[in-house]
């Protein structure tokens, strides 16, 4: 926080985004944030939504919700044709991913499977 003439502003780093492309893997890289939860908005490429698509977003240090099954892996898979009706998810970090003095450790990975090439979706993250 910084204070200037009785005005308080909070400074936070801009969160990375994740671009999913067919036939490849991508990553946000490791980043740290003080928030234990992050929201993920998934925007599907409008030009492919009339065809079959399949892609995944993974995070080894967090759990997506809604998800009441504690045995599922830390991933969200998207499969189908047509627009995404539910495209916002909340990730909750595990407590052991909290690094003193840095915040929670985050890293999102994307894997585009179908179509096998080209832009599939973009994931943006917010607090």
Range of the domain at 26: 15-126
Please check whether residue 1 lies inside any domain of the structure.
Answer: no
Count of Cβ atoms closer than 10 Å to residue 89 Cβ: 17
Q: Give the model's pLDDT for residue 123.
A: 97
Cα dihedral 38/10/18/41 (nearest 10): 50
Q: Give the model's pLDDT for residue 68.
A: 55
Per-residue pLDDT 10s for the chain (127 aa) are 444 444 444 446 789 999 999 999 999 999 999 999 999 999 999 999 899 999 999 988 887 765 555 555 588 899 999 988 779 989 999 888 999 999 999 999 999 999 999 999 999 999 9
Total tally of structural domains belonging to the chain = 1
Please check whether residue 56 lies inside any domain of the structure.
Answer: yes
Q: What is the side-by-side strand order in the sheet with 25-27?
A: 25-27, 109-114, 53-58, 75-80
Nearest to 37 by CA among 62, 4, 56: 62
CATH of the domain at 89: 2.60.120
Q: Give the model's pLDDT for residue 74.
A: 82
């Amino acid at each position: 926080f910084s204070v200037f003439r009785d005005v308080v502003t909070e400074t936070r780093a801009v969160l990375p985004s994740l671009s999913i492309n067919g036939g490849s893997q991508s990553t946000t890289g490791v980043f740290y944030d003080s928030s234990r939860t992050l929201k993920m908005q998934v925007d599907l490429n409008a030009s492919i939504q009339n065809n079959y698509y399949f892609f995944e977003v993974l995070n080894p240090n967090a759990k997506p919700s809604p998800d009441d099954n504690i045995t599922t892996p830390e991933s969200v898979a998207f499969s189908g044709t047509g627009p995404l009706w539910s495209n916002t998810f909340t990730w909750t970090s595990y407590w052991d991913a909290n690094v003193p003095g840095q915040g929670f450790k985050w890293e999102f990975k994307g894997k585009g499977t179908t179509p096998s090439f080209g832009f599939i979706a973009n994931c943006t993250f917010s607090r």
